[in-house]
Structure 1
Amino acid sequence: MSGSGPMTPSPSKSEELSVSGGGGKKRDPTAIHPILKDVGEIYSRLLDHRPVIQGEIRYFVKEFEEKRSFREVRVLENMKNTVFEANDQTLPKCERVMHDNLNEVLKRLQAGNEMISRLQQREQEEKQLQTEKLTAGEKQRIAQWEEFLKEQHSLKAVVDEEHAKAMERLKEQYAIMEKDLNKHTL
């Protein structure tokens, strides 16, 4: 490559350029047009979903507006009639029944309250009687206990007195025995 002149491509390189599309021949613009048309068709079939979606939207709107709108109106009309019937007939009837039943329940509750009040009063009176009986019994037992203690004290005094007398007799007897013993031993 040590040439002094201008570089010219070798014949093999020029062939490569024309084969790879980089140079030499110019393509016809009309030949590209069918390719673009094919690419556009492929794009519209594979990637462009707008026509399908628009068709579905039209079908949905038609179905909803034409067929369902009458059904929805009928449903709303039935609901309106049901609400008016409930307000005009069912609700007043329920109020009357509830009022009548509540009055009956109120009367029964009042009777129950009166019965419970009487039972509580009786129970309180019985408790009071039991308390009085217990208090009286306790006072009686206290009096009996005090009497028992007095009796025991007097019995103790009698026993102590008898014991003291017996001790005196024994002392006298031992004193006599000791004198006798002293007489015999001396």
Structure 2
Amino acid sequence: MSGGAAAAMSPAKAAESPFSGGKKRDSLGPAPPHPILKDVGEIYSRLLDHRPVIQGEMRYFIKEFEEKRGLREMRVLENLKNTVSEANDQTLPKCEQVMHGNLNEVFMKLQAATEMMNRLQQREQEERKLQTEKLVAGEKQRIALWEEFMKEQHSMKAVVDEEHTKAMERLKEQYATMEKDLAKHTI
């Protein structure tokens, strides 16, 4: 016999004992239930029948939310709805207007800054170009001076070489005359 079937038995069936072979007792009244059936009924009611606990929780929930709090949650939700509606209808458009105004201002400032940067960059490029031209001109001038210096050095070298050659010839002539004079004296 299952636990649910034992608890749902009618008093007439409860009088029948599963051990008596299905015979009814005499009409002295209902026989006390078998102790095992009593224990099975208690186990069923404690473990499987949650209705009393659920009913208690439901009563507490109803008492907490309907009696104690009343319509406080509804008022809070209504206030939130009003706040959100006000934000959507008034605050959000104002914020958008301010944002667009500030964005336009920032955009204008950004354009002005970009133009200034372009002018500065152009000036810098012009200055670099002038410096490069000055450097190239200076380099050409130094090359010209160097070439002139080298020409002077060659002409000076030629003059020095020529003087040296003349001096050598004079010395040769002088030594030659000295040798002749020496040869005259020694003989």
TM-score range, shorter chain: 0.5 to 0.7
Report matched runs for 1:119-158 at 5 Å: 119-158=120-159
Q: How big is each residue's C-alpha offset from its partner over 1:131-165, in whole Å with a ceiling of 9 and x where there is no partner?
A: 22212211211111111010011111111112222
Corresponding position: 1:40 with 2:40: yes
Letter of the aligned partner of 1:104 in structure 2? E
Report matched runs for 1:1-186 at 5 Å: 33-40=33-40, 42-44=42-44, 47-48=47-48, 50-59=50-59, 62=62, 66=66, 70-179=71-180
Residue in 2 that maps onto 1:19: none
CA distance in 1, matches of 2:147, 2:105: 62
Alpha carbons of structure 1 residues 38 and 146: separation in structure 2 relative to 1, 3 Å: same
CA distance in 2, matches of 1:152, 1:60: 119
CA distance in 2, matches of 1:157, 1:63: 128
Alpha carbons of structure 1 residues 49 and 172: separation in structure 2 relative to 1, 3 Å: farther
Higher RCO (CA 8 Å, separation ≥ 6 residues)? 2
CA distance in 2, matches of 1:32, 1:173: 172
Q: How big is each residue's C-alpha offset from its partner over 1:7-66, in whole Å with a ceiling of 9 and x where there is no partner?
A: xxxxxxxxxxxxxxxxxxxxx859994422442355247644624542355246535763
CA distance in 2, matches of 1:168, 1:116: 76
CA distance in 1, matches of 2:166, 2:63: 134
Larger deviation, residues 133-142 vs 74-83: 74-83
Percent identical pairs in the alignment equals 62
Larger deviation, residues 32-41 vs 125-134: 32-41
Structure with greater helix percent: 1
SS of the aligned residue for 1:150 comes to: helix
Q: CA deviation at 1:182?
A: 5.8
SS of the aligned residue for 2:79 comes to: helix
Alpha carbons of structure 1 residues 60 and 156: separation in structure 2 relative to 1, 3 Å: farther
TM-score with structure 1 setting the length:
0.65
Residue in 1 that maps onto 2:12: none
Letter of the aligned partner of 2:114 in structure 1? N
CA distance in 1, matches of 2:149, 2:165: 24
CA distance in 1, matches of 2:144, 2:70: 101
Larger deviation, residues 153-162 vs 121-130: 121-130
Larger deviation, residues 139-148 vs 158-167: 158-167
Letter of the aligned partner of 2:58 in structure 1? R
RMSD: 3.4
CA distance in 2, matches of 1:148, 1:157: 14
